[in-house]
Structure 1
Amino acid sequence: MSDGRPVSGQLKKFVFRGKSSSNGDTRGEYLEIVIPELLSAGYSFYTWPSAPLLAWYLWTQRRNLRGLRILELGCGTGLPGILAAKCGAHVTLTDSVVLPRSLRHLSACCEANGLVPGRDLQVLGLAWGLFLADVHNLRPVDLLLASDCFYEPSQFEEVLSTVAYFLDGTDARFLCAYQERSADWSIEALLKKWGLKGALVDLDSLSESSGLVVLIMAGALSYSSDSDFSDDDQTPLDKDFFDACNHVLGITSKLKDSQLLELYGFYKQSMEGKCTTQKPGWLDARGRRKWEAWKILGDLSSDEAKIKYIDLVQKFDPKCKLGVRSGLHETWVTMSSLRYSPEPELVDHEMSLFDAARENIGKLVTKFLSENPELCNERDENGLTALHWAADRDATNALTAALNGGCYVNALDKSKQTALHYAALCGHVRSTQILLEAGASFLKDDEGFTPLDLATDEVRIILENAT
């Protein structure tokens, strides 16, 4: 998005529903929020994964929001704050004062939901840790909100010092949702330093009060506990399946991302059948992986997907005993696990160059390019080359093979981003090094970002040393 032009890109819809009343009437318990998202590698132009979780929690407390003075920090597209405003709160949305385009995009997100900045809510620039007169004028507040603000350790204290300033001498509370990115990161010492205390919100309680079961960040799994069928209408397999879904809530912290993704795929197949939705944009890396975990299941039937889901839950937690109602312990024929890397005998016949790049099969990439050198310039529907895909997945064998096979290191996708943009944004150290050694340049994309602008901390050091 360039200055002065309206927001363009895709719209993402978030629908919030309450539990049905005894007569099935849900009127007045429904809210739809539309967020315009830009397919741009900027932090503020798309909805980060914790924002929907925070918004869901606010939705469960919607009857208590009316009249509250709410301030959201680093709000990006502003989903939680917009929801609070729609529920009657007096809301101020803030993001970085040095990012005027982000603030204009935030205003556009408000307007897309019928909220006029300056009338229905406030949109302001803020600098964490700087307590200027404008910041003082924002006090007092009843509730501070933030989602995914703890993504950069060097800024943790700036965030918490700002929170401490707004909470000091008041009865206000700070409600925060965040994605755990490293077990080594902690804010405990900083909480003590700034005189703050924290407590975890029980997500099971959230689920019960909202009528929805929400599983946070890592797996982004969710399902509704409001079934279209009563318990009497459900089959034994259905009951075992939903028992398995509930059991997963208690073991998410023990599961790897790959395991959560596999469960997600079988859950979606169980509930919705074959994947027919559009693949998420390239910036939504987690969304793409979730989509792929579902898409790969093809025409697998709903019952087979439920059986596989239950099987996986028991595999991941052997202490869990499921399948009693449906007799699966006695009659179950376990299905073969679907693999993300294809079987060797299928590679030559079933895979494309892009598949080989994604799956890090360097020998096959070499074979494709040696037999058909023109494939170096082949692009998918988003303008991505094999090099982009390999960099995105940190597929270093495929990346090296693509470069040796003649793929242009500075090839641009539709957003004018190179493979180095992808590697830097994803924090892939080795892929970044390989691309730099191959002569990758620090080109600007169509939003004016270089790979250095987008890089994670570890990759940024490598890029800075290369300049």
Structure 2
Amino acid sequence: MSDGRSVSGQLKKFVFRGKSSTNGDTRGEYLEIVIPELLTAGYSFYTWPSAPLLAWYLWTQRRHLRGLRVLELGCGTGLPGILAAKCGARVTLTDSVALPRSLRHLSACCEANGLVPNRDVKILGLAWGLFLSEVHALRPVDLLLASDCFYEPSQFEEVLSTVAYLLDGTDGRFLCSYQERSADWSIEALLKKWGLKGALLDLDSLSESSGLVSTMAEALPDYPDSDFSDDDQSPLDISFSKASDHVRKLTSKLDNTQLLELYGLYKQGTEGKCNTPKPGWLDGRGRRKWDAWRALGDMPSDEAKHKYIVLVQKYAPELTELSDDGMKEAWVAVSSMRKSPEPELIHNELSILDAARENCPGRITELLAKHPEMRHESDDDGLTALHWAADRNATKALQALLDGGCNVDMTDESGQTALHYAASCGHVESTKLLLNAGASLLKDEDDCTPLDIAADEEIKKLLEGAK
């Protein structure tokens, strides 16, 4: 292994683009990374072929990278790690401690892309398989990266022992790309030895059209084309289809809570009871969508479709003026529920969780006065009334719960507090109430604080001021 001596240099450009955009604009998202390469005897001064592949995969996952702690092993010019940093991850780039010149070149690669070493990204020399104090300080890590680190069989175990050490006791994952150079080379036995499990990713999956990256708007109103004409569909299904088509025009006007409620009803109406596993830790948005669907329990599909249509009409009153083929007339034809609105909530029958969801502070005060133990009551997912009030931005209910002595830092099954819910949903007033009540910036099971998952700039400022 040589640290090399420069012979000549070149600037290599890597361009990453989104597959599509909306409103006729096909430019999509765009990121350009430039890598200064040196043609030397050493192999850490130019970009190996597996690095762009790994970087492209990370690009398809860019919406999930923000705030993650990412560490790249043997990074050479650091293309994947630099891309992760540009997408909002907290990145540490590492290469051999025995190659100080390579580490200096890595710093130059970061600077070429506007990243200041040891401010925007950390750069560190490591020795694989040697667990010194600085290696321990790197834990915990959410995502380990490596490209073309499996090129010399004598070092395979050193790489994997380092991976096993960094991932031990965490929910972190290891993503690597490498070029097969011999049919006799395998890491399967070493994976088993070090307690690791691996799976191959299909190259065909490395595209945004595969669904690896999704937005709320993409998942909300995508009503599938029917194999039947309108004459073969019920009036309910026709109205539901028209409502879901119209939601595409509303997504920019609705907040996260409204979008999630529509999403849950849409999935319940089209697929019935939630029947999919809860998304993993890397997909926070997917987990919130899953929660919105699962919260509907055994609600019949037709009821979910009705509620969906009523909700769309609420957000788009102009739809109630549609003529004979519109949803208003269709609902009159098929449902007495349209003629006879749902009864109003019966105040003295509300549970404390219902009262929180429906923003009924009087009922909450009444229940807590009679049954103070209800402060700790939760649903199947560990959500307390405080969580539900924060999720719905039910500020009056939230204040009543806080006044009633509810612990402001109670957590759900994922270790998230009410402040996590208020911050992730963009609810400024609920965030203020919780902070005024002394809410802490606790970490959840994914090691994220409310600040890590906040998207709203005003909320970020509030949380930063509370640190």
TM (norm. structure 1) is 0.47
Structure of higher CA gyration radius: 2
TM-score by length of 2: 0.47
